[in-house]
Amino acid sequence: MLFNSLQFLIFFPIVTAAYFSLPHHWRWLLLLLASCWFYMSFVPAYILILAITIVVDYIAGIWIERSDGRRKKLFLILSILANVGVLATFKYYEFFAENIEALLAAIGSPRELPPLSNFYDAAAAGISGALSQVGIQWKSPPVRLLLPIGLSFHTFQAMSYTIEVYRGRQKAERDFGIFALYVLFYPQMVAGPIERPQNLLHQFRDYHAFNYDRLVAGLSLMTWGFFKKIVIADRLAQVVDRVYDQPDQYYGPQVLLALYCYAFQIYCDFSGYSDIALGSAKVMGFDLMQNFRRPYHAASIVDFWRRWHISLSTWFRDYIYFPLGGDRESTLRWYRNLLIVFMVSGLWHGARWTFVVWGLLHGLAMIAFLASESLRDGCWRTLGKALPIAWLRRPVGILLTFHFVLLTWIFFRASSLHDVQTIFQQLFAADGWRHSLRALVSPYELLVAVTMVAAMELAHFVEARNEQVQPYFVWLPRGTIRQWTLMYALLIAILLFGEFRDQEFIYFQF
Amino acid sequence: MSKTAVKTSRALAWLAGLALLLWLLGIGLRQVALTLDPNETKVVELLQLQARPHDVLYLGNSVAFQGINPKVIDDACGVTSYNLAVGGSSPIEQDLILRAYLRHNPAPKLVVIGVTPNLGAFGDDLRPTVYLALEAPEKSYYAQFLQENGLPPLPFSDEIAMRVPAYRHRTTLEPMLKFFVRGEARRPSFVQGHLTYREVGAVPARLPAQRAGLDVAGLRSCLDTCQEHGVPALIVELPNSPSFNKSVVERDGAMKLLHELIDGRQGVSFVSFNEDGGPEFDRADWLGTNHFNSRGAEKFSALLAPRIDSKLRNAL
């Protein structure tokens, strides 16, 4: 079920009320059953895939802890292979098969690789055959092999567990139920944040008494998340989808508007989800990690990646970048490590070349930024001696970073590299700037969207001025007229301006 | 008072304040809707029609709502007619409006169904005010229609949300804003259900591609209703502006569906005012890309009148 659905609005209070009503030693079971129910509301059968990886990682964690030397490493590798194998099968098989076929065709040896469904059919036939040997007739149900929802997230979360056990920074979880809950915890299992076992596992054992202030903070955070998702993201999606579905039909200012809309759509969609996840966990007493920190206020690409999808970027940093050597290697190897991390990050987002190029661009930008540090410092120092413009450095950095990220989002959103090309062509078409925005969006819709984004940015500005990491609505002093007024305004804005068409969250597809 | 009691009473006060605010907002928006949103006012008016005999009824969306002037046709054909069209309505919504009308009013001699295939398919949603005003048989019919056509049923969340006035009338905000920006000049008026605007609107020379489509199931439902009540139907394709027509793709497919739907149906005929070589309209006749202003509606209705007259005579 989606967070922005009636089912969740019924599910959440029931689960929360039951959670606080139950004795502490039964709460984990309630959460586990609720999380299973939550996950199975998408495609029930895929819980079996999750179950297999949970069993593998649970056993691997215990064996890794008990072993040493080569055996320890072997169990880690097996666990990682199991997780990556599931991910590769469901997410990347078709992509790699298509590219291998294209390569074979290019070298004059055309060959068609079997589709993924063939493997399912073969496995199902094998099981059916084995069962018939013992007198059980079973016919495999027809299944359309879709990407299990949240696969990339919970496999990464599971892998962080086995890696931390291997590194000796986390004790292996002996309680299967608690471990299963660590992987399946419903607020964050589908689209993060990707948690670390040191932060989350112990919380399932801690006693969480009902706390009114936490309840209000959690609900405030959820409301803020719903506002970003339902009012801003889903509204902007209508403009974005029109342009990206038919990029050759839109020009100049229309394309430019869609680019800006997508930048805020993806931020509000994903951070909105994270806020709802964090808020719903907070209500029950759980603290999940912050996943966004005003990323469009970043003054550099390095700063951007400290603020955007923090749980993923730190995952890549700790489990790929540092093991490769990080910045402790020679300069060339350091840059190579950065490129590898960003390209893998791109591929993590989806099995398409556009994502790989997106990752590559960010990697190159990172390298360019780091390589030019002394040059930039020198330029600003020199200019600063002639003119009082030192204060401009940060705003210029913010503008440049935002627009770089905005342009790379084209690769992220477009369906193919051909569409990316079309969008750039349409954006810079000679006569394109004669086209009116009215053909794309009504003035009213544009006004609502701009007003809501401006309201959100105002809240961000207040957070930054107060040097707050948490969203404004969480630390707003409670019981004040200001708090009541702003919360009422938020809820009314959701009611009046929200798009309630059960739009999925963008990051569900990853 | 204990801390728990203080917090509980504060929470209850907050919730009560929210409920009061939503209630007041609902009342306010409803009043604004009835004043400024022509579609809302129209729906309320037509659902209140009782025992009002009309010879001819017009169904359709906003193009028909603004494009067909019943008075012009009445004067030309010597009949009494009423424009039942509602802006943004889908064919199934038009059918349900017709059914609701026929429950309380005598059947007409002719139903004119305005279609706009160049605008694409509208879907099968209903305006909340229409849905809530429907009686049980119409609601059941709608549920059955969705099921028979493989469409998802109306979500329960929608049924609940529609009953909140602030949510139901939230589409009023746009006409309210337009009213404040443009002032009195844009306020609509009704005559026999026909919505008139005197302004001349801009029609862009170039528009992005628009895919033509047809809500076959909804239109079929309309024709079935006419057949059940023994009323002949005249399907009329209303004109769109030339620049809009140039931007339309896949029109042939939509027209093929339309002809397949009406071929062989007794009492149903079709006329298009939107084909190449059809009547031409001046720039001064348009309010926007696809909607006539009062001048354009008069002109078009005068062209439509002989077709209606002929159809009525054939029916006799």
DSSP symbols for A416-479: SHHHHHHHHHHHT-TTGGGS-GGGTS-HHHHHHHHHHHHHHHHHHHHHHHTT-SS-HHHHSPTT
| Contact at CB, B177 and A447, closer than 8 angstroms | yes
H helix runs in A140-251, sequence order: 151-166, 176-184, 186-189, 197-200, 212-226, 234-245
> Is pLDDT larger for residue B113 or for residue B203?
B113
Look up residue A210 and give its two tokens.
């009902």
| Interface probe with A: pick from B179, B206, B250, most Cβ of A within 10 Å | B206
Chain A: closest CA distance from residue B296 (Å): 23
Report the distance separating Cα B180 and Cα A239, nearest Å: 25
| Contact at CB, B161 and A488, closer than 8 angstroms | no
Residues whose CB falls within 8 Å of the CB of residue A125, separated by 6 or more in sequence, listed in order: A140
Look up residue A41 and give its two tokens.
């509301």
Mapping DSSP onto H, E and C, the string for A299-364 reads CCHHHHCCCCCHHHHHHHHHHHHHHHCCCCCCHHHHHHHHHHHHHHHHHHHCCCHHHHHHHHHHHH
List pLDDT tens digits, range B198-217.
Answer: 888 877 777 777 889 999 99
- Give whichever of A107-111, A119-123, B106-110 has the largest mean pLDDT: B106-110
Question: pLDDT class for A132, splitting at 50, 70, 90?
Answer: confident
DSSP symbols for B197-255: --------S----EE----HHHHHHHHHHHHHTT--EEEEEPP--HHHHHHEESHHHHH
> Is pLDDT larger for residue A233 or for residue B172?
A233
- Amino acid at the residue B299: K
Average pLDDT rounded to a whole number, residues A432-444: 80
**pLDDT higher than 70, residue A120:** no
H helix runs in B38-90, sequence order: 38-47, 62-67, 70-77
**pLDDT higher than 80, residue B244:** yes
Active-site residue, A208 included? no
Question: pLDDT class for A140, splitting at 50, 70, 90?
Answer: low
**pLDDT higher than 70, residue B188:** no
- Cα angle for residues A427, A428, A429 (degrees, 5° grid): 100
**pLDDT higher than 80, residue A504:** no
Question: pLDDT class for B4, splitting at 50, 70, 90?
Answer: confident
Report the distance separating Cα A293 and Cα A270, nearest Å: 12
Chain A: closest CA distance from residue B155 (Å): 9
Residues whose CB falls within 8 Å of the CB of residue A474, separated by 6 or more in sequence, listed in order: A217, A220, A221, A224
Residue A70 near residue A166, CB atoms below 8 Å: no
Residues whose CB falls within 8 Å of the CB of residue B306, separated by 6 or more in sequence, listed in order: B76
Average pLDDT rounded to a whole number, residues A112-117: 72
- Cα angle for residues B269, B271, B276 (degrees, 5° grid): 150
Residues whose CB falls within 8 Å of the CB of residue B49, separated by 6 or more in sequence, listed in order: B82, B101, B104, B105
Please report which helix (H) or strand (E) contains residue B309, including its range.
helix B294-315
Look up residue B138 and give its two tokens.
């119409």
φ/ψ of residue A266, rounded to 5: -70, -35
**pLDDT higher than 50, residue B242:** yes
Whose structure tokens read 């349409």?
A426
Average pLDDT rounded to a whole number, residues A464-492: 84
| Contact at CB, B156 and A439, closer than 8 angstroms | no
Q: What pLDDT shows up at residue B59?
A: 96
Residue B259 near residue B251, CB atoms below 8 Å: no
Please report which helix (H) or strand (E) contains residue B112, including its range.
strand B110-115
Residue B286 near residue B55, CB atoms below 8 Å: no
Report the distance separating Cα A474 and Cα A468, nearest Å: 10
Look up residue A3 and give its two tokens.
């967070």
φ/ψ of residue B266, rounded to 5: -70, 140
Chain B: closest CA distance from residue A228 (Å): 18
Average pLDDT rounded to a whole number, residues A36-53: 88
The ipTM of this complex is 0.78
List pLDDT tens digits, range A249-301.
Answer: 898 899 999 999 999 999 999 999 999 999 999 999 999 999 999 999 999 99
List pLDDT tens digits, range A363-392.
Answer: 999 999 999 999 998 998 888 888 888 888
**pLDDT higher than 60, residue A143:** no
Q: What pLDDT shows up at residue B185?
A: 45
**pLDDT higher than 70, residue A510:** no
Residues whose CB falls within 8 Å of the CB of residue B298, separated by 6 or more in sequence, listed in order: B69, B72
Q: What pLDDT shows up at residue A104?
A: 82
Chain A: closest CA distance from residue B14 (Å): 8
Q: Tell me the pLDDT of chain A averaged across its residues.
A: 89
A100-104, A398-402, A414-418, B271-275: least confidently modelled range: A100-104
Beta bridge partners of residue B83, listed in sequence order: B58
Residue positions counted in chain B: 316
Angstrom distances, CA of residue A380 to CA of A388, A391, A392, A510: 10, 10, 10, 40
Question: pLDDT class for A142, splitting at 50, 70, 90?
Answer: low
List pLDDT tens digits, range B256-275.
Answer: 999 999 998 989 999 999 98
Residue A109 buriedness (CB in 10 A; 0-12 / 13-18 / 19+): exposed
**pLDDT higher than 70, residue A42:** yes
DSSP symbols for B117-138: GGG----S---HHHHHHS-HHH
A113-122, A441-450, B218-227: least confidently modelled range: A113-122
**Nearest Cβ partner for B21 among A5, A492, A500:** A492
Residue A221 near residue A290, CB atoms below 8 Å: no
> Is pLDDT larger for residue A331 or for residue A142?
A331
Q: Out of A154, A349, A362, A460, which one is annotated catalytic?
A: A349
Report the distance separating Cα A469 and Cα A456, nearest Å: 15
Q: How many CB atoms lie within 10 A of CB A502?
A: 14
**Closest residue, chain A, to B289 (C-alpha):** A439
Look at residue B152 and give its three-state secondary structure: coil
Q: How many CB atoms lie within 10 A of CB B237?
A: 21
Residue A406 near residue A263, CB atoms below 8 Å: yes
**Nearest Cβ partner for B10 among A442, A447, A479:** A479
First to last CA, chain A: 16
Question: pLDDT class for B80, splitting at 50, 70, 90?
Answer: very high
Rounded to an integer, what is the distance from CA A14 to the centroid of its chain? 27
| Contact at CB, A246 and B208, closer than 8 angstroms | yes
Question: pLDDT class for A435, splitting at 50, 70, 90?
Answer: confident
Angstrom distances, CA of residue A437 to CA of A230, A265, A442, A444, B171: 23, 18, 8, 12, 21
**Closest residue, chain A, to B9 (C-alpha):** A479
Strand order across the B268-272 sheet: B81-83, B56-59, B110-115, B233-237, B268-272
Look at residue B115 and give its three-state secondary structure: strand
**Parallel, antiparallel or unpaired: strands B194-196 and B189-191:** antiparallel
| Interface probe with A: pick from B8, B10, B62, B203, most Cβ of A within 10 Å | B10
| Contact at CB, B10 and A444, closer than 8 angstroms | no
- Amino acid at the residue B293: N
Average pLDDT rounded to a whole number, residues B227-255: 92
List pLDDT tens digits, range B84-103.
Answer: 999 989 999 999 999 999 99
Instruction: Give the CA dihedral A418, A421, A425, A428, nearest 10 degrees.
Output: 160
Chain B positions touching A231 (Cβ under 8 A) are none
Question: pLDDT class for A144, splitting at 50, 70, 90?
Answer: low
